[in-house]
């Protein structure tokens, strides 16, 4: 058996500016424009693209914990219904709908 890699990672708190940027996007752009912004970063593999995916998820989701990692190509519907705990990794090209949001990922 191979030990889990993602669950063993040391969890670093998300930067305060990410949390602030997510709050700004939520209030300034609203959910539709923020979701459209996601398309600019969905396929990128840079550290900035990864960070912006997390910021946008934080702006749109009910709640996300620290250290959420979203690989390139992740597609979603109705992100406003999702909750993610700390240390969650969403793999490349995952496609999700709201009914997968709680405890079934």
The pLDDT value given to residue 4: 60
Q: Each residue of 48-66: b (16+ CB within 10 Å) or e?
A: ebbbbbbbbbbbbbeebee
The pLDDT value given to residue 12: 87
The pLDDT value given to residue 64: 92
pLDDT tens per residue across all 105 residues of the chain: 666 665 577 888 999 999 999 999 999 999 999 999 999 999 999 999 999 999 999 999 999 999 999 999 999 888 998 989 888 889 998 887 554 444 444
Question: Hey, where are the domains in the chain?
Answer: 14-100
Q: How far is CA 10 from CA 5, 34, 58, 87, in A?
A: 10, 30, 20, 9
């Amino acid at each position: 058996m191979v030990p889990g890699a993602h669950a063993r990672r040391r969890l670093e708190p998300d930067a305060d500016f990410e949390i602030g940027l997510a709050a700004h996007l939520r209030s300034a752009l609203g959910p539709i424009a923020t979701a459209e912004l996601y398309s600019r970063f969905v396929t990128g593999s840079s550290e900035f693209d990864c960070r912006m995916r997390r910021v946008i998820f934080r702006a749109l989701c009910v709640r996300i914990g620290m250290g959420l990692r979203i690989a390139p190509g992740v597609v979603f519907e109705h992100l406003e219904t999702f909750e993610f705990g700390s240390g969650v990794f969403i793999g490349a090209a995952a496609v999700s709908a709201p009914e997968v949001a709680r405890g079934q990922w």
